[in-house]
Amino acid sequence: MSKKMINIYLYTRYERFWHWLQAVSIILLLLSGFEVHGVYTLFGFQTAVTMHNFVGLAWLIAFAFFVFWIFTTGEWRQYIPTTKKLLSVIRYYSYGIFRGEAHPVPKRIDAKHNPLQRLTYLGLAAFLLPFQMVTGFLYWGYNSWASWGLSGLSLRVIGVLHTLGAFSILTFLVIHVYMTTTGHSLLAHIRAMISGWEEVSEDTPIEAWEQARSKRSTT
Partner 1 sequence: MNKQRGLEARWATLTTLVVVFLGLAAGAYASDSEDPAPGRAMAQQAVKERAHWTTTDHSQLAALQKDFCSGDAITAACLSCHSDAGEQFKQTIHWTWIGDTSADGKQYGKAGDSLNNFCISTNRMNDQSCADCHPGWKGKEAGINCLNCHSQKKVNWSEAFEDYTAFSQSNDPEEKELAQEIQKEIRSAAQSIGRPTRQNCGECHFKGGGGDGVKHGDLDSSLAKPNRILDVHMGLDGQDFKCTRCHTTVNHNVAGRIYSKPAFTERKSLIQDDLTAKISCESCHGNTPHQKGDKANDHTDKVACQSCHIPEFARVLPTKMSWDWSQAGKLKDGKPYKEKGPEGTIDYMSIKGAFTWQKNVRPEYAWFNGSMQTMTVKDTIDPSKTVAVSAPTGSPDDPHSRIFPFKVHRGKQPYDKVNKNFVAPLLSGPDGYWTTLDWKRSISKGMGFMEVPYSGEFDFVPTTYHFPTTHMVAPKENVVSCVQCHVRQGGRLADIAGVYMPGRDRSKPLDLLGWVAILGALIGVGIHGLGRVFTTGRRKE
Q: Which residues bind partner 1 (CB under 8 A)?
A: 13, 16-17, 20-21, 24, 36-38, 41, 44-46, 49-50, 53-54, 58, 93, 97-100, 142-143, 154-156, 159-160, 163-164, 166-168, 170-171, 174-175, 178, 181-182, 195-196, 217
- Nearest-angstrom CA–CA distance, 59 and 90: 32
Q: Least distance (Å) from partner 1 to the CB of residue 202? A: 19
Q: Least distance (Å) from partner 1 to the CB of residue 203? A: 20
Q: Which is nearer to partner 1, 50 or 73 (CB)?
A: 50
Q: Which is nearer to partner 1, 87 or 97 (CB)?
A: 97
Cβ neighbours for 145, distance < 8 A, ≥ 6 positions apart? 138, 151, 153
Q: Least distance (Å) from partner 1 to the CB of residue 186? A: 10
Give long-range contacts, CB 8 A cutoff, 24+ apart: 75-84: 75/15, 78/111, 78/112, 78/113, 78/118, 79/113, 79/118, 79/121, 79/122, 79/125, 79/126, 80/118, 80/122, 81/115, 81/118, 81/119, 81/122, 82/115, 82/118, 83/115, 84/115
Q: Which is nearer to partner 1, 45 or 68 (CB)?
A: 45
Q: Least distance (Å) from partner 1 to the CB of residue 70? A: 19
Q: Which is nearer to partner 1, 11 or 79 (CB)?
A: 11
